[in-house]
Amino acid sequence: MKKYHIYGIGNALVDIEVEVSEENLKQLEIEKGIMTLVDEERQNFLLDALPGTHHHRACGGSAANSVIGAAKLGAKTFYSCKIANDEMGTFYAEDLEREGVNSNLTEQTREAGHTGRCIVMVTPDADRTMNTHLGITGDLGFEQVDEQALNESEWLYIEGYLVSTDAAREAAMKTKQIAESKGLKVAMSFSDLSMVKFFHDGLKDMVGTGVDILFCNEEEAITYTESSDIERAFDALKDVAKTFAITRGPKGAVLWDGERRIDIDAHKVKAVDTNGAGDLFAGAFLYGITHGFNYETSGRLASFASARLVQEFGPRLSSEGLQLVKNFLKEL
């Protein structure tokens, strides 16, 4: 038995969540619903200018959210990322440890600079808009990979956001190559529509000859495959990944387990914040398949967990929400 169920690699970003109005976004010329990379000056300006309710910060990043979600359910996880030797970095490392995730983060691995931050702006329709300053995580490279921990893992999980810098993309591709040579299965998430739109060729390079599981939402699937609708995108993704999960928000999700299509029903809830929902779907799904569940059962767990999350603010399940998910898990 391997030491870790999931080894994740991705950006280390401190999430700063703010409730805003759509008018706020228009006034500040922020494109709604996607992740936009900004410089530090622009991000500081936005933090001062946004008038809405500020919520508690949290260690984040797409893959980080996923491995934390899996760890909360009981998976053993490891995360490779890069933080600076600053207050934000200290917060990130301590928060990640509190969430039960092992990592490459030690005092010796931290350098001078600024830890990455992501302003997550949540509008009344529960949509999330992100403006991210990568900081030192933009320099993430293969030196952040712990090969021993990787060798002791069952799955490698890669976030699509790594495509946005050359060093991170190369690190992801090299890690994938090593994982495959060691017999690990590889999962990947497209992470955000903006990555698919603006880094399409880079994502193709990261996918390479294919992955064992691909996670994406409906828009990302259609855009990546250059399809006209979800049905054509579904068929096209069979040439990209051995199996995949396409999340569809209130329409649920659709899975391909390598042999058959599986439709997963959505849970009717009142969403207040969709930040981290796709990440938790992936994390809960990976927990499921690493703990003996089939694709349909893993999909049902993932759907319930993400539906629970969107009823709360922030990228983490509350203690009450986590207990509800664990109770649901017992019934599967």
Q: Could you tell me the residue ranges of all domains in the chain?
A: 4-331
CATH architecture of 4-331: 3-Layer(aba) Sandwich (3.40)
Q: What's residue 53's pLDDT?
A: 74
Q: What pLDDT is attached to residue 51?
A: 78
Averaged pLDDT score across all residues of the chain: 95
pTM given for the model: 0.94
Query: Residue 14 gets which letter from DSSP?
Result: E
pLDDT for 115-140, tens place per residue? 999 999 999 999 999 999 999 999 99
Q: Is a pLDDT exceeding 90 seen at residue 87? A: yes
As a whole number of Å, the CA-based R_g of the chain is 18
Query: pLDDT value at position 54?
Result: 77
Q: How far apart are the first and last CA of the chain?
A: 24
Q: Taking the CA of residue 140 as centre, how many other CA atoms within 13 Å lie in the half-sphere pointing to its CB?
A: 36
Spell out the alpha helix ranges (H) of the chain.
Answer: 22-27, 40-49, 62-73, 87-98, 147-151, 166-181, 193-198, 200-207, 218-225, 230-237, 277-289, 295-309, 319-331
